[in-house]
Amino acid sequence: MSSPENVEKKEAADDLHKARNLIKQLAQEIEELVRSPIEPPDFFREFLKRVVQALHAPAGAVWLLDANKQLQLVSDLNLRGIGFYDHPGSLQKNHQLVIQTISTGEAVIHRPGNPETPLPTDHIVILASLQRDGECVGVVEIFQRSDASMGSHSGMLQFVEHLAGLASKFLSKEAVQEQTSVGPIQENYDKFLNDLHRSLDLKQVTATAANDSRRLMNCDRVTLCVKRGRKVTVEAISGQDKVNHRANLVSSLRKLSETVMESREPFAFYGKADDLPPQLEKLLTTYLQESESRMLLILPLLKPDKLVRDEDEIAGKIQKKDKLQPLIGCLVIEQINESEPRAGVKQYADLLEEHVAIALNNSLDHKRIFLLPVWNFIGGIQEWFKGRKLAKTLAIGSAIIAVGCALAFIPWDYRVEGEGRLMPIERRTIFATANAEVEQVLINGGEHVKKGQILIELRDKELDLTYQKTRKELDSKSVEWTSLETEMGQLNRSGLSNAEQSKKQIELSGQIRSAETVITGLNEQIKMLQESREKLHVRSPIDGVISTWQVEQLLLHRPVNWGESLLEVINENGPWHLEIEVEEDRYGHLVQAQKELNTETLPVEFILATTPESTYEGEVQEIATRANTSSENTNILQVNIKIDESALPTVRMGSEVRVKINCGKKSLGYVLFGDVVEFLRKYLWL
């Protein structure tokens, strides 16, 4: 026995099934209206009646743009009954809603109570666009009760949008019938032919044939397949910039096209597939499942005959063989929603078939030319040697030759560039002499110091403890030694027998010698500790100036490790030089210049960052034989430059300099483009 819950679920399922059947039946009725020979006012009256009835809506209307782009009411149902004309300004408000939908082309639903979108009545307004050949030309408007549940709004919007799409097909059919009733529109047809034969590029020809023929025939999709050898490929699909050959739709269409092309006869499917070979029927079923097309037309494209026969054939020397024209492809025309071809499809298909075949054959012949891009390039160059362009070509060529000769034969100074700093030759880095703590800083940055002057006091707490402990042990042993000596001196007055005195004397002598040995060791240990404590006084190794700034802030009360750099002392009164970093791949130029000039000292020009307007001279003093890694992770060589520091306006340690080392004469082209040459040699081994 069924529970009440199961009964309710069954009733809900039955209601849903009935609603779907009603929608399906309504859609079929509207499709029949679209195919029937009916006038637009009658069609929209019947169309509106069915839509309003299906939605149980109180009213509805259809608006279309006339030839002057003015909005006209084509059909309405019960607008006056809902008080549409009774509200002041309702027509203007409604006009704004309709125009907005036409401009966007999107279906929309408006609910009462939104101040940004005033409505003509208190009803829910559902709007869906009507389109003709991709252009929005009207709107279907449905007025629904305001108490309709929120959950049904989305479904109502989709339902009205779907039915508006069916009504759009009626408008497109009417437009095609108007055009085809007096023959093809010559302007569009001529434009299609001009675009089709404008190019010989295969991609452009196939794309034009697919996209423009679809618009001309007013169908849903046109595909162009090309046969090269035994292979058939889908080259172009209307509405797609690129064909995905791995897609199931494309693969199934390719197989179907191959089978149809073997018969060399057109193939048409209008919703029913009767008396088809099993293989073709299977391929057709597979493709229809992927594409959901209801009308399919496949037209094989044959290689056109020659316009002019050969001379031998005209003279009768060669008999024309009854040979079938080769297949070069096929044209696939599809409709998604209708099984009957729309007006003009068959008529245009027959007209376009031959033109597409001719254009496709020409593009294939053009593509078969061996090394076609090379010949096109050579032909483009050849054009520069004809007519008025010849003088320009000769002038440009002469200029290029002149520039090339200048780059090859004009000598120019080749200079290796580098960056570095101005540094004194005599400078010392002060290192920590122990693992200790900086207890006192006795100097400041920029202060003059003497050789041996104490700069920093370090403190090693462990060393102090060891020294104090050793000192106490020494004092203790010294007291012990003094006591033993005293006891030895009083031995004669001790009242002991001679034998006992001898025994005691031997015992005390051993203890005294042991104490003396310990005291000697402790004295040596104290001497070493004192030397270590003396090293805690960090002294200047030379006369000079402290080049490190903010020494106290950097070091005071800071723990340091043995060998750690603390500060730097320079002799600013001594000689100075430049320490330059040069890229490792420039080393060969320096060595070659030294060999050619037979000297180790190459001339140098440099500028200071502080005075870039002045140029100074120097000479290479030393080139490092070992490469180092720079901060930018590139290999560099250090080059020391000898200078005359008296010629400099100011001498400041670490001042940045830019240096150019003269490496002799080279061609102007190598001076300007030497980096490119080196790159080719380095990476391409040229």
Quote the CA–CA distance of 650 and 611 in Å, as a whole number. Answer: 10
Query: Among positive and negative, which fits the CA dihedral 133, 138, 139, 140?
Result: negative
Which of these, 442, 437, 444, lies nearest to 454 by C-alpha position?
442
Contact 642, 621 (CB under 8 A): yes
Contact 447, 551 (CB under 8 A): no
Q: What integer pLDDT is reported at residue 617 of this predicted model?
A: 92
Cβ-based burial of 469 (10 A; exposed 0-12, middle 13-18, buried ≥19): exposed
Quote the CA–CA distance of 518 and 513 in Å, as a whole number. Answer: 9
Residue 327, beta-bridge partner list:
302
Q: What integer pLDDT is reported at residue 493 of this predicted model?
A: 66
End-to-end CA distance of the chain: 93
Both tokens of 336, joined, read 């998604």
- Amino acid at position 475, single letter: D
Q: What integer pLDDT is reported at residue 17 of this predicted model?
A: 62
Q: What angle do CA 375, 378, 381 make, to 5 degrees?
A: 150
Quote the CA–CA distance of 503 and 17 in Å, as a whole number. Answer: 131
Farthest CA pair distance, the chain: 168
Q: What angle do CA 265, 271, 277 make, to 5 degrees?
A: 45
φ, ψ for residue 114 (rounded to 5)? Answer: -90, 110
The number of CA neighbours under 13 Å toward the Cβ of 345 is 26
pLDDT in tens, 446-477: 888 998 899 888 888 888 888 888 888 888 88
Q: What integer pLDDT is reported at residue 1 of this predicted model?
A: 44
- Quick one: how far is CA 541 from the chain centroid? 59
Contact 129, 39 (CB under 8 A): no
Q: What is the mean pLDDT of each run of 10 residues along the chain (686 residues)?
A: 54 59 76 76 86 88 86 88 84 89 89 85 90 87 87 85 85 62 61 88 92 89 92 92 91 93 90 82 91 91 75 55 80 89 80 90 87 80 73 86 92 90 88 88 88 89 86 86 78 67 78 85 87 86 87 88 89 88 87 87 90 90 84 85 87 89 90 85 77
Strand order in the sheet with 559-560: 537-539, 454-459, 436-441, 559-560
Quote the CA–CA distance of 541 and 630 in Å, as a whole number. Answer: 29
CA gyration radius for the chain? 52
Q: How many CB atoms lie within 10 A of CB 535?
A: 17
Domains of the chain: 11-180 (3.30.450.40), 186-306+323-368 (3.30.450.40), 427-567 (no CATH), 575-683 (2.40.30.170)
Q: What integer pLDDT is reported at residue 288 of this predicted model?
A: 92
Quote the CA–CA distance of 552 and 567 in Å, as a whole number. Answer: 11
Q: How many CB atoms lie within 10 A of CB 358?
A: 15
Q: What integer pLDDT is reported at residue 181 of this predicted model?
A: 44
Tokens 């462990």 — which residue?
462
Tokens 């002019």 — which residue?
308
Coil vs helix vs strand at 119: coil
